[in-house]
């Protein structure tokens, strides 16, 4: 009957077999680094061969692992295969790790990033500012995750007035991009002020869904500002580039999304203090002005000022009366003088025009045709027209002869020429 082995005995036996195998005592393996974790005395990571295979690796010599290496780098490791007895897992214990190149997925990711940048999806001018006082926040996060718990707790603690709309989605695996897109489309059609996509970090493989091209194109149609909180500071995905703000943790996302009610209360208190101080300062200034006014002579010795003003007014009134009397007398004298001058001028003008009128009247009378008739002359007219020439009369013309004292009618019988 075979001996029943303990697990530790079995693991020890397998470790002995592997340790004694010359091929496994020195191997050189090429692969892509994922799940890199650095500690004080060791560096743990996983080597990945596309989607075909993975193997755990560790180095206890920090000098053997360059500080510049990161997830996604392709490396060539040299070491031996060993078994960790406690877990029964086998791994490569590396004594040398060298950079070999970018992993295939990282090369494709770099190409995709360049493509999306050329489309203008990551431009800073397209980044939206976060509202200071959001009313509704949409959250996409894994179900029952620490990220969801952190977000809800911190947002409610900081700003309980905001409403939360939470949609859970798959964040890892082949179905993750489609699940994230569906969650985003749902919230994008609702009245959301800020959208947060959050998870609690992870390896580069765990975060790979957030480099999906279809997800980035969907997020480019967002109607609200987006905060990404899907990895730690050293983990950057394409979602971080298209987001309007990036937080390294869900707690950081909560701090970006909402104000702190304690800070708001303090701001309100500070404002109240400033207003009170401003009011007191203005009040004190006005009170001082009133006191200064009440101490002025116009208010403290008003009757004396009025008496003085009455004296000045009486004096000025007397002066004005005397001046007015003087001016009236002066103008009366001037008026009388002008009156005498005007009277003389009028008489002179009257005599002159009377003389002229007499002369013109005499001249006019001398030219009056009626005065000529008194001297024996007569007017002869035909049809009310004065006849000045005998040549204008014919036989049998009926004429009118007008004398000084009357007129007679006559008929022309025969004319006689005069030379």
280-299 tens-digit pLDDT: 898 888 888 888 877 777 66
Calculate what percentage of the chain has a pLDDT beyond 90.
38
Q: CA-to-CA distance for 157 and 165, rounded, in angstroms?
A: 16
pLDDT at 288: 86
pLDDT of the residue at 417: 55
- Return d(Cα 129, Cα 193) in angstroms, integer: 11
pLDDT at 3: 81
Per-residue pLDDT of 202-217, as tens digits, reads 666 678 888 999 999 9
pLDDT at 77: 93
Whether residue 201 is predicted with pLDDT greater than 60 in this model: the reply is yes
Distance, in Å, from the CA atom of 415 to the CA atom of 419, rounded to the nearest integer, reads 13
Q: What is the pTM of this model?
A: 0.52
Q: Measured between alpha carbons, how far is 70 from 94 in angstroms, rounded to an integer?
A: 16
Please say if the pLDDT value at position 161 is more than 70: yes
pLDDT digits (tens, 9 = 90+) for 246-275: 998 899 999 999 999 998 888 888 988 998
* Mean pLDDT confidence for 106-133: 89
Instruction: Tell whether the model's pLDDT for residue 5 goes beyond 90.
Output: no
231-235, 241-245, 363-367 — most confident range: 241-245
More confident residue, 348 or 305: 348
Question: Per-residue pLDDT for 197 more than 90?
Answer: yes
What residue ranges define each of the domains in the chain, with the CATH number in brackets?
Answer: 7-102 (2.40.50.140), 108-259 (3.40.50.261), 373-411 (no CATH)
Helix/strand/coil percentages in the chain, nearest 5: 50, 20, 30
For residue 177, what are the contacts with CB-CB under 8 A and spacing of at least 6? 209, 212, 214, 215
């Amino acid at each position: 009957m075979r001996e029943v082995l303990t697990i530790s005995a079995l693991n020890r036996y397998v470790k002995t077999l592997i340790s004694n195998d010359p091929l496994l005592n020195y191997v050189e393996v090429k692969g892509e680094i994922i799940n890199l974790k650095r500690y004080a005395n060791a560096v743990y990571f996983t080597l990945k061969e596309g989607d075909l295979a993975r193997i755990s690796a560790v180095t206890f010599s920090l000098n053997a692992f360059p500080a510049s290496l990161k997830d996604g780098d392709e490396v060539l490791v040299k070491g031996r295969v060993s078994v960790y007895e406690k877990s029964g897992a086998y791994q490569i214990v590396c004594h040398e790790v060298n950079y070999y190149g970018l992993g295939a997925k990282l090369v494709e990711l770099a190409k995709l990033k360049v493509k999306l940048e050329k489309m203008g999806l990551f431009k800073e001018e397209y980044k939206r500012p976060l509202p200071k006082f959001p009313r509704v926040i949409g959250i996409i996060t894994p179900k029952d995750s620490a990220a969801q718990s952190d977000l809800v707790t911190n947002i409610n603690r900081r700003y309980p007035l905001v409403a939360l709309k939470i949609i859970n989605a798959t964040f890892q695996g082949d179905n993750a991009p489609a699940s994230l897109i569906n969650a985003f489309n749902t919230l994008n059609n609702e009245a959301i002020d800020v959208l947060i996509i959050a998870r609690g970090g992870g390896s580069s493989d765990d975060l790979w869904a957030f480099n999906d091209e279809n997800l980035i194109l969907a997020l480019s149609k967002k109607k609200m500002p987006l905060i990404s909180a899907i990895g730690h500071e050293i983990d950057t995905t394409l979602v971080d580039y298209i987001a309007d703000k990036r937080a390294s943790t869900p707690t950081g996302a909560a701090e970006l999304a909402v104000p702190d009610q304690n800070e708001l209360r303090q701001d309100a208190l500070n404002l109240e203090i400033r207003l009170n101080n401003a009011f007191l300062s203005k009040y004190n200034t006005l009170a001082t002005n009133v006191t200064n006014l009440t101490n002025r002579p116009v208010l403290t010795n008003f009757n004396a000022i009025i008496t003085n003003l009455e004296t000045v007014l009486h004096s000025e009134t007397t002066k004005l009366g005397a001046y007015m009397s003087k001016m009236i007398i002066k103008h009366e004298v001037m008026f009388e003088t002008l009156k005498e001058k005007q009277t003389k001028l009028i008489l002179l003008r009257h005599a002159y025009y009377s003389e002229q009128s007499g002369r013109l009247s005499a001249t006019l009378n001398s030219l009056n045709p009626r005065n000529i008739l008194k001297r024996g002359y007569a007017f002869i007219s035909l049809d009310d027209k004065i006849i000045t020439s005998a040549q204008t009369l014919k036989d049998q013309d009926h004429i009118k002869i007008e004398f000084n004292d009357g007129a007679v009618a006559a008929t022309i019988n025969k004319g006689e020429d005069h030379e």
